[in-house]
Amino acid sequence: MRRILFLILVLFLVSFLTFIIFLKLPATDPARLIAGRQTTPEILAEIRTNLGLDKPWYIQYGRFAKGLVPWPSYFLNEQVYYSYGNFIPVKEELYRRLPVTVALTLGAAVLWLIIGLPIGIVSAIRRRTLADRAGMLFALFGVSAPVFWLGYVMLFVFWFKLGWFPSPGLDIGESIWHAILTGKFILPWVTLSLLFAAFYARMVRGTLIETMSEDYIRSARAKGLSERRVIFKHGLRAALTPVVTMFGLDVGALLGGAIITETIFDLDGVGKYTIDAIYDQDFPVVMGVTIFAAFFIVVANLVVDVLYAVLDPRVRYT
Amino acid sequence: MAEPLLAVKDLKVHFPTEDGLVKAVDGVSFSIMPGETLGVVGESGSGKSVTFLTVMGLIPPGQARIEGEVVFRGQDLLKLPVEEMRNIRGSQIGMIFQDPMTSLHPFYRVGNQIAEAIQAHRKIDKKEAGDQAIDMLRRVGIPRPDERARQYPHEFSGGMRQRAMIAMALSLNPDLLIADEPTTALDVTVQAQILELIDRLKQEFNTAVIIITHDLGVVAEHCDNIQVMYAGKAVEYGYARDIYYDADHPYTWGLLQSIARVDAPRSERLKPIKGLPPSLIFVPSGCPFHPRCPYVFDRCRTEVPQLLPVDGHHASACHLSLEDKDRIFKQEVMVHQ
């Protein structure tokens, strides 16, 4: 219960900050955005009244605040959270785009685990061998390569030059499954997962090396367990616990939108929605996606805390 | 004469490091008979732990240069294939370690950790291994063993954890139990309990025991034989009473004098050995103890003393003449005792 209250408090703070930033920034008047070029002061005033922009700031904020309550009829309620640009409710647009982001995030997450964990494990147990050096070289490349650069290189080489993968972007009305099956997600997955794979490989290597020098590993060997069992049952069990924590937080953060990857590959996900809304100074949308992303992160935190208590018997969940 | 259970012959364990060759163990020989208790005493860095990690095959391959022989029940463990060595570890030689706080895996239930050791060597199902684990916990004096088996190590006190470690090490009824500083991390009252427990189980399981310690006081009543180590070498060996009442090496004298005593006058209570343990890379020439020895003379600086019999069983590695040693021991060390 305390956690739930904490969750709401965090959402409140995030929204308040977002609101303050938009209020203080010399943004274009939303009424002008809606009214278009040809307008009269009367029309502008009417729009302002409709949007509630003529009210004091705390009333304005209050209208948005109601949408923070994580409850179906309140959360991002459609009376307030709709785009100033095309009047589509934020919720509707988010739910339409969410599958794209989820597909991108989960696919990449699986990929970076498949790549990152084995590299980290092999590097740790075959320390200072060729395999370790190769793995860490990969990791160095991965953490050094910026996503925007990597994304364009991928597109240039594998789509434009070699033509191995389809052109970026989903067609209108194309289903997620169709896009996945035709390979449209492969380049985005690789691009997004490389950084994380590299990061996870280094992390797993570090924690596993540390764990393998623990006294209880020596005890495990002393009782005559096979080296395989020592590494996989005793070593990894302890070494992967912090990795699980990290994984939960990373996935939670990415579900709020992988902005750069979605932009490069023209995927209409939550991240692209966010960046477009910021360009258009579409305040309700920015507020909505910010809350939405924050919501994922806070929930991920909650899940990770519970998970940690399950994984580590020394930790009690309160 | 019966075959020794374990005979270590001229064991050398050298670690190549960036700073030079660390001679952690440099020519150690000893043997232990079935059912016997051997105390191995020395400061940190005297090579006592490394010696027995080598016996257990727990020095990672490639990390050290190992020479000599470790003959256990007629076979040289150093020449054994990894898989056969693994089979001996835990089933024929059990080992417990200094810090019971960190020696059990924090994520697994105590009973399961013991059962795992049993299952590593015996083909029995989980249920049966679990029952045997509970039985072992009972035998090491843990109350309500069936409940305790389901708990995690952090729910155990230090003494209880060491008991659990002992239960684990003895669960396959090994011929030899190596206890590496089993009481160092424990409260004094618990120390005595653990040593008594080891004593009792030694009888019960008819197990030979090696107790590694830096505290001569600890092993006094519990060992048949005592070996004193310094800078990777054995400097004195003998029956416990030889070491206590007729010690022949200045280093042993130092250890005897540094046992804390409550009944001695305040000024004499504790006499530390002056100086620090030597570097194991640049071991002093001649007798490695000579820079710290109050009775050093010229020969000590150039010639390495051999571990030679003093009388029958008792041996020491020191250039002092027997008469001198007798005199010094009686005049200076015994007075303190």
Rounded Cα–Cα distance for residues B7 and B91 (Å)? 18
Nearest chain B CA: its distance from A313 CA (Å): 6
Alpha helices in chain A (DSSP H): 2-24, 30-35, 41-51, 57-65, 90-125, 130-144, 147-154, 176-181, 186-212, 215-222, 227-229, 236-255, 259-264, 270-280, 283-311
Nearest chain A alpha carbon to B87: A224
* Residues B95, B97, B101, B107, CA torsion sign: negative
pLDDT (tens digit, 9 = 90+) per residue, A16-37? Answer: 888 888 877 766 677 777 777 7
Nearest chain B alpha carbon to A314: B154
Q: Is A82 helix (H, G, I), strand (E, B) or coil?
A: strand
Please give the pLDDT value at position B146. Answer: 94
Rounded Cα–Cα distance for residues B245 and A16 (Å)? 81
Number of cross-chain residue pairs from A and B with Cβ atoms under 8 Å apart? 74
Q: Which residue has the higher pLDDT, B266 or A175?
A: A175
Q: Among A215, A234, A314, whose Cβ lies nearest the Cβ of B97?
A: A215
Please give the pLDDT value at position B150. Answer: 95
Q: Which residue has the higher pLDDT, A71 or B149?
A: B149
Please give the pLDDT value at position A3. Answer: 79
pLDDT (tens digit, 9 = 90+) per residue, B247-298? Answer: 889 999 888 888 766 666 666 667 778 888 888 888 889 999 999 998 989 9
As given in the structure block, the two tokens for residue A275 are 């960046």
Please give the pLDDT value at position B322. Answer: 84
| Arithmetic mean of pLDDT, B86-98 | 93
**Interchain contact, B97 vs A221, CB within 8 Å:** no
Q: Which of residues 1-40 of A touch B (CB under 8 A)?
A: none
Q: With contact defined as beta carbons under 8 Å apart, do B255 and B228 qualify?
A: yes
A216 to chain B, any CB pair closer than 8 A? The answer is: yes
Q: What is the mean pLDDT of chain A?
A: 87
Q: Which of A33-47, A133-147, A185-199, B10-24 bottoms out in mean pLDDT, i.e. has the lowest?
A: A33-47
| Amino acid identity, position B180 | D
**Interchain contact, A218 vs B97, CB within 8 Å:** yes
**Interchain contact, B103 vs A219, CB within 8 Å:** yes
The two beta strands, B225-230 and B233-239, are antiparallel
Q: What is the mean pLDDT of chain B?
A: 89
**φ, ψ (nearest 5 deg) of residue A236:** -65, -35
| Arithmetic mean of pLDDT, A50-67 | 80
Q: Which residue has the higher pLDDT, A302 or B218?
A: A302
Cβ neighbors of A232 (< 8 A, separation 6 or more) are: none
pLDDT (tens digit, 9 = 90+) per residue, A255-276? Answer: 888 888 998 888 888 989 989 8
Nearest chain A alpha carbon to B172: A223
At residue B335, does pLDDT exceed 70? no
Cβ neighbors of B305 (< 8 A, separation 6 or more) are: B286, B287, B317, B318, B319
In chain B, % of residues over pLDDT 70: 95
pLDDT tier at B189 (50, 70, 90 boundaries)? confident
Rounded Cα–Cα distance for residues A109 and B333 (Å)? 70
ipTM over 0.90: no
Rounded Cα–Cα distance for residues B201 and A96 (Å)? 70
Q: Is A205 helix (H, G, I), strand (E, B) or coil?
A: helix
Nearest chain B CA: its distance from A306 CA (Å): 16
Token pair 């590695």 is found at B317
Q: Considering only CB atoms, which chain A residues are within 8 Å of B106?
A: 216, 238, 312-314
pLDDT (tens digit, 9 = 90+) per residue, A179-199? Answer: 888 888 989 999 999 999 999
| Arithmetic mean of pLDDT, B43-53 | 90
Q: Among B90, B102, B106, whose Cβ lies nearest the Cβ of A314?
A: B106
**Interchain contact, A223 vs B58, CB within 8 Å:** no
Q: Among B107, B121, B165, whose Cβ lies nearest the Cβ of A238?
A: B107
Q: Which residue has the higher pLDDT, A141 or A82?
A: A141
Nearest chain B CA: its distance from A122 CA (Å): 17
| Arithmetic mean of pLDDT, B297-301 | 91
Q: How many CB atoms lie within 10 A of CB B234?
A: 27
Q: Which of A112, A75, A70, A92 is nearest to A251 (CA)?
A: A112
| Whether pTM exceeds 0.80 | yes
Please give the pLDDT value at position A196. Answer: 94
Longest alpha-carbon distance in chain A: 86
Q: Which of residues 228-247 of A touch B (CB under 8 A)?
A: 229, 234, 237-238, 241
Rounded Cα–Cα distance for residues B102 and A216 (Å)? 6
Q: Which residue has the higher pLDDT, A27 or A3?
A: A3
Nearest chain A CA: its distance from B166 CA (Å): 11
